[in-house]
Amino acid sequence: MKTVLFGDVHAEDGTLVLMDGGIHGVQGHTVILPPSGPASWSRALDGFQPIGRAGSGDFEPSEEERALLGRARDALEELTTEQPQLSFFHPPQHGPPRWCWVIALGLEGATRLVEGGEIASPGILTPLEIRDALEWLRRRVDELSERDG
């Protein structure tokens, strides 16, 4: 499925994909959680002032993390019941977003996704149902990059 800022994003059946990134030094974080087995992560340093470490790898999410991501999966499925793709971007007159995100889910052979972009992270336009997962994404991938990157 084509996104505004991340290009084509595809999720296999049962797989949850979380991505964020942006301009003005915001680092890029990705987690791909298949229905079973370990998750994969990556962290890119594609900003004007990169901070931290780039890296990638696999990790086994804890039960608490799986529960958090399960709630995000359920919210995404509910949000996209009538439309398989939804966007939550601030108005263009506010300038380009500095933080952008995508959450995608493979469901019944198709990808469903929600995406957005704002000045801050997470901003007021980010649906409440997925904010915790997006905050977790950055925190967890930063931690993994410092440990494994």
Is residue 3 in some structural domain?
no
Task: Tell me the one-letter amino acid at 54.
Answer: A
**What is the model's pLDDT at position 23?**
61
C-beta separation of 127 from 71 below 8 A: no
> Quick check: 38 and 147 in contact, CB under 8 A?
no
Q: Is residue 98 part of a domain?
A: yes
Comparing 10-14, 18-22, 50-54, 104-108, the range with the smallest average pLDDT is 50-54
Is residue 115 classed as helix, strand or coil in its secondary structure?
A: strand
The pLDDT of 18-28, averaged and rounded, is 74
Higher pLDDT, 127 or 59: 59
Q: Does residue 41 belong to any structural domain of this protein?
A: yes
Burial class (CB in 10 A: 0-12, 13-18, 19+), 60: exposed
In a domain, residue 7? The reply is no
CATH of the domain at 103: 3.30.1560
CA distance 80 to 35: 19
| Residue 31 lies inside a defined structural domain of this protein | yes
Q: Tell me the three-class secondary structure of 92-128, residue by residue.
A: HHHCCCCEEEEEEEEECCEEEEEEEEECCCCCCCCCH
pLDDT at 28 over 60: yes
- Considering the chain, what percentage of its residues have pLDDT values greater than 70? 87
pLDDT per position as a tens digit, 38-58: 999 998 876 545 556 788 999
Residue 2 lies in a domain: no
If one counts the domains in the chain, the total is 1
Question: Which pLDDT band, with edges at 50, 70 and 90, does 74 fall under?
Answer: very high
Query: What pLDDT sits at residue 18?
Result: 96
**Chain Cα centroid distance, residue 4:** 14
Q: Is residue 61 part of a domain?
A: yes
Domain of 109, in residue numbers:
16-148
Record the pTM. 0.89
Q: What is the distance, to the nearest Å, from the Cα of residue 97 to the centroid of all Cα atoms in its chain?
A: 15
131, part of any domain:
yes
